[in-house]
Structure 1
Amino acid sequence: MAAADRRTFILVLILLCILPALTPVAKSKPVHNYADALSKSIMFFEGQRSGKLPLTQRLRWRKDSALSDGSDNAVDLTGGYYDAGDNVKFNFPMAFTATMLAWSVQQYGRFMGNDLPHAVEAIRWATDYFLKSTATHGVVYAQVGEPYGDHACWQRPEDMTTPRTSYQVNTTAPGSEVAAEMAAAMAAASLVFRSIGDRNYSRLLLGRAVQVFEFADKYRGSYNNSIGNAACPFYCDFSGYQDELIWAAAWLHRATRQTLYWNYIVENLRNPEFKWRMEGNNDEFNWDAKNAGINILLSKVRFFVLANGLESSTPFINYADNFVCNILPESPTRYQHFSSGGLIVNSKICNMQSVTSRSFLLVTYATALKRWNRTIQCDGTIITPSRIVRFAKTQVDYILGDNPMNMSYMVGYSEKYPQKIHHRGATLPSIDVYPQFITCHGGAPYFLSPNPDQNLLIGAVVGGPGEDDQFDSNRFDAGKTEPTTYVNAPLVGALAFFKALHRQ
């Protein structure tokens, strides 16, 4: 090498060494491991299982429980899920959980990889129980477990001594919302099992969904009145049963492609009993209110109609667009409230249910918009599908750790996560560690303990912080530290979407 070339080479090396020190480096947030979060979010449901646990159970600290459920009515109601940190099986939110798991698998199951069988198993754990709960014609079991007695105890589900009362709705004491949501869950699940080749089980679920929907529609009324304080104040139906009837009809239309369900939806949208309820809550989507979910689900049908130059007189696309415009921060018509850290804030109790359900709807609608080459106009501001996805990502990432507390709100994900959650099974020692019987109040010392939980409820997403973005892992504050199945269920789909987006 010539002398001049050597000097040039040395100068380049020097520049390469000193330039990084002279150039400010922007601190970038790491891309989250959505694949890991997805696996954990699905595993959580194994910690919520009731009944005889299978050999495939991965959370081994949980054991068989509630093996006599239904015996007070001489029926078998074993199985299903405990809704949260208690030991009651509330079928209304459980059915919404199953519907959302099924929708998640339909939309994003192809991205779930090795987690797909576990997601399908989680759905079946619920639907097997719903088949038992609807086995008697004209009767739907709405709940198992007397909630006041249960909530007065801090006891492992394996040790339960509280009454396992089974509550039913029937032809003289109707419960349209709980029956219709169970019909929606079974119809949605039938599509999942059809897609994986289990056609016999799919047909069984769909047939039962049709039957239960007919019961819910023929004998209209709220389970608030039929089972009274067993449902309230725990899971009162505040939004009315009309949205669940439309929701169930939408899933039955999707599963059967029969026009009678579409006609039912269109006709009831003109019915004053339904119309005012459907128009008044179009931003809501949770175990109680299904309006936004209905609009996102049915917008796909309307996009197809428009693309083929056919008539389109239903409001689903407009309502779905408005849902987005009412959330996105830059929208002139936005009225969604956010914490200073950017989190959607809708509730002081279990706020994360608003976050996960809206995130799922946003990415699902963005997927449809992209497919049909559409954008949204929010009073002159154009919202693109990619912008919707970016916003939804901020919400999911907040849950996973991009927040003022720098902690994950999913148990077991990342290095910092809630250590003292409001959950009996997690708080109390496993039978493997402490085989002695724990009485109703015998678990109090564990509840009061300042120590971390005895068992890791992997994947559990807690209620989370409020608008101040502050969080104290405190078992007393159930609104912030209690996990629920209906918070995790929509997050499963959103995580699968982002897993695919980031190719993890």
Structure 2
Amino acid sequence: MARTIDRLSRGRGRRLGVLGVSGLLATAIAVPVVTNGMGVELGGSNAQTLIQGVKPSAPKTGPASAVRVNQVGYLTDGPKNGAFVTKAKEPLAWSLKDADGKEKATGTTTPAGLDSSSGEKVHTFDFSDVTDAGHGYTITIDGEKSEPFDIGDDLYTPLRSDALAYFYHNRSGVEIDSKLVGKEYARPAGHVNGAASSDEKVPCQPTVCDYTLDVSGGWYDAGDYGKYVVNGGIAAAQLMSTYERTQNAKGVQKASLNDGTLRVPEHGNNTPDALDEARWEMDFLLSMQVPQGEKLAGMAHHKVHDSTWGAIPLRADKSEGKRELHAPSTAATLNLAATAAQAARLFEPYDPEFAAKSLKAARAAYDAAKANPEMMADPGDATGGGAYSDYNVEDEFYWATSELFITTGEKGYHKDVLGSKLHGDADALFPRGGISWQSTAGLGALDLATVPNKLSDDKLAAVRKTVTKAADGYAADSKKAAYGVPYAPGDGRYAWGSNGQVMNNMVVLGTAHDLTGEDKYRDAVLRGMDYIMGGNPLSQSYVTGYGERYSHNQHHRFWAKQKDAKLPNPAPGALAGGPNSSLEDPVASAKLKGCAPAKCYMDDIESWSTNEITINWNAPLAWVASYVDDLGSGSKDKAQA
């Protein structure tokens, strides 16, 4: 008979019960209401104000203008660039007009020739000298008018909130409350109440183990209801890093992610909201660890999901698939070691008991991974959920030992960090295509470079040099690209989840700017945001609710309005995976054959290889949104050096 091993000290009921969602919105400080031009209310300059989004206007459809701009807008003192698709060989005149049609600036384009990412000839233009804040600007070139955009300082304040709210929307095991997300997005708790589809008592696949685990909670990974430690690990780490940056970087809004600032139900518990959200996933990750006394104690199960693929659309609480734990893997175990070590230092001021539990789990996981260094996930284990196989775990070892060293300062972890062949190798730590769930070593290097630790001054300087060296490469890629994107995979082909990798390159660039203050890194981040927000070959904003023409049919089982008119489109702040040269779904392969790399995308719910949404793509979006919001002048009276 299978044995049930319950999770200890979940703390979920305690944390949810402090205030109760009925009184949640009343905790927001009363301030004058302003909007960002998309119907999203901003809370003014007080960092303790809850930023509450509302439903944006419907996206614009039809043929796109040949003038490609960031459809959200440009920071007042930042770079302002765009692209124009044309076969003209000579420079063309451009005109910037305000919302009333008054001309504010003029200039000429620069022919850039054939853009390999789009297969089109383009010109570029630069209007960075314009610093007048305003709404509804347009650029006109050769009779073509761009989509409207704004110039201002607080353009990304709502995105900081919406990108983080994505995770609450996708929590497993808890009701999603209308008082936080609106009636349209509210739903009952999924995968609870003891049915076969419950995560509260999940058995292993046959022959894997003879016990059951309570693995409820956590975040649904993507468009289905699977939960994967290797995706959850990088996502939780980057949410924690989003918060940790506010405590260590200069010129940031230190209180921007504190208790009472985000749309989470744990307000009033004196723990920063960003950490409350990360805790929801950390509790799940800890529950996936093989218990003491078992054969593989300390290892982490790779994933949990249905034994067969669920239908689409399908609300989480309607799911009836049989849930199964899959075999432990070294990669999953090291993800647990890294994130639990990071959690241990961040939660220590707020919940010492949880911090101690996390550190104990991190140590056990690291030791177990060293004892089982080649336990790889089966690439054929892809029925009912993705395989997420990874045959190289040197990067996960480096990440995990880096986090353990930062948290503990112990000599053994220090030796393992310096002894890794990845240490100091910028190309290995930061691949050309970007950090991803398969390439996590860079996460360790970023934290070593920015979080106080016991590295000697010369060793710390060397780590920081690897970060800036990688950032130099990404900045150069951005500068060369007609569309400014800091993404140049070696073979020129865009990967599955290319937008997530673009965002991760922007995290490296933003970190380099935090470390050095050099504008070239900041400018590359902002050019990357231009690309994501519509200044790309498709004139498509890849973030739901942002821009005039935005993705809104991403692959998701509940956010599935394209399949069922009674269901919602994705919530604002959801990042589409983006162009994928491999066209790995039937819809994309049928309709996009022969596409140029940056055009291998379609906003269709069935195009899961180009249009899925995932926690590990939204996490770097949240980091970058927080970073860019800090760049705005609105941070000047809130920032503390």
Query: Is structure 2 residue 76 aligned with structure 1 residue 76?
Result: no
Of 188, 199, 217, which residue of structure 2 is paired with 1:63? 188
Aligned to 2:448: 298
Task: Name which of 90, 114, 122 aligns with 2:228.
Answer: 90
Tell me which residue corresponds to 1:205: 358
Cα distance in 1 between the residues matched to 2:156 and 2:485: 20
Q: CA deviation at 1:341?
A: 5.8
Asked if the contact 1:400/1:409 (under 8 Å) is kept, the reply is yes
Residue identity in the other structure for 1:71: V
569, 572, 577: which is aligned to 1:458? 572
- In the alignment, does 2:488 pair up with 1:355? no
Q: Which one has a larger percent strand, Structure 1 or Structure 2?
A: 2
* Distance (whole Å) between structure 1 residues aligned to residue 460 and residue 511 of structure 2: 22
Cα distance 1:390–1:303, how it changes in 2: closer, same or farther (>3 A)?
farther
Alpha-carbon distance in 2 for matches of 1:391, 1:128 = 36
1:11 corresponding residue in structure 2: none
Asked whether the equivalents of residues 222 and 241 of structure 1 are also in contact (C-alpha less than 8 Å), the reply is no
Measure the CA separation in 1 of the matches of 2:178 and 2:352: 23
For residue 133 of structure 1, the aligned residue among 288, 292, 300 is 288
1:80-125 CA deviation, whole Å, 9 max, x = no partner?
1111111111111111111111111101262525239432221011
Kindly provide the amino acid, as one letter, of the partner of residue 393 in structure 2: Y
Residues 98, 496 of structure 1: alpha-carbon distance in 2 compared, 3 angstrom cutoff: same
Q: Is the 8 A contact 1:180 1:213 kept in 2?
A: yes
Aligned length: 433
Given that residues 223 and 555 in structure 2 are in contact (C-alpha distance below 8 angstroms), is that contact kept between their aligned partners in structure 1?
yes
Deviates more, 1:22-31 or 1:155-164: 22-31
> Which residue number corresponds to residue 377 of structure 2?
224
**CA root-mean-square deviation:** 3.5
Displacement of 1:298 in angstroms is: 2.7
One-letter amino acid matched to 1:324:
A
Verify: 1:412 aligned to 2:545, yes or no: yes
Give 1:89-488 correspondences, 5 Å limit: 89-108=227-246, 110=254, 112-113=256-257, 114-115=261-262, 117-134=272-289, 136-137=291-292, 138=297, 139-146=299-306, 149-150=308-309, 154-169=313-328, 175-195=329-349, 197-225=350-378, 228-229=381-382, 234-238=387-391, 240-269=392-421, 280=428, 282-283=430-431, 284-300=434-450, 308=457, 310=458, 312=459, 316-329=463-476, 338=481, 340=483, 342=485, 344=487, 346=489, 347-370=494-517, 385-403=518-536, 405-427=538-560, 447=563, 454-465=568-579, 467-468=597-598, 472-488=602-618
Higher helix share: 1
Change (3 A) 1:336 1:213: farther
Question: For the Cα contact (< 8 Å) 2:554–2:604, is it kept in 1?
Answer: yes
Q: Distance in 2 between matches of 1:191 and 1:281?
A: 23
Q: 1:338 to 1:465 in 2, by over 3 A?
A: farther
2:151 equivalent to 1:30:
yes
Higher relative contact order (CA 8 A, sep 6+): 1
Letter in 2 for 1:267: G
Q: 2 CA distance for matches of 1:468 and 1:499?
A: 27
For 1:186, the aligned partner's letter is A
Is 2:379–2:388's contact at 8 Å kept on the other side of the alignment? no
Q: Which amino acid aligns with 1:206?
A: L
2:510 maps to amino acid: V
In 2, are the aligned partners of 1:336 and 1:344 still within 8 Å (CA)? no
Deviation, structure 1 residue 321: 3.5
Distance 2:556 2:213 in 1: 28
C-alpha deviation, 1:225, in angstroms: 4.3
The one-letter code sitting in structure 2 at the alignment partner of 1:162 is G
Residue in structure 2 matched with residue 432 of structure 1 by the alignment: none
SS in 2 for 1:127: helix
Distance 1:62 1:338, change over 3 A: farther
Matches of 2:160 and 2:545 in 1, distance apart? 12
DSSP-derived class of the 2:300 partner: strand
- Checking the alignment, whether the CA contact within 8 Å between 2:171 and 2:220 is kept in structure 1 is yes
**8 Å CA contact 1:190, 1:201 repeated in 2:** yes
What displacement does 1:396 show? 2.3
Q: Is the Cα contact below 8 Å between 1:247 and 1:294 reproduced in 2?
A: yes
TM-superposition CA deviations, 1:156-201 (whole Å, max 9, x none): 22111222111132xxxxx221101111111112222235x32222
TM-score w.r.t. structure 2 length? Answer: 0.61
Contact 1:47–1:62 under 8 Å retained in 2: no
Counterpart-to-counterpart distance in 1, 2:516 and 2:378: 41
Structure 1 71/368 Cα, relative in aligned 2: closer, same or farther at 3 Å? same
The alignment status of 1:51 with 2:173, answered yes or no, reads: yes
Label 1:58 to 1:415 Cα distance change in 2 as closer, same or farther (>3 A).
farther
The residue that corresponds to 2:588 in the other structure is none
Give the structure-1-normalised TM-score.
0.76
- Give the percent of matched residue pairs that are identical in Structure 1 and Structure 2: 19
How far is the alpha carbon of 1:205 from its aligned partner? Answer: 1.4
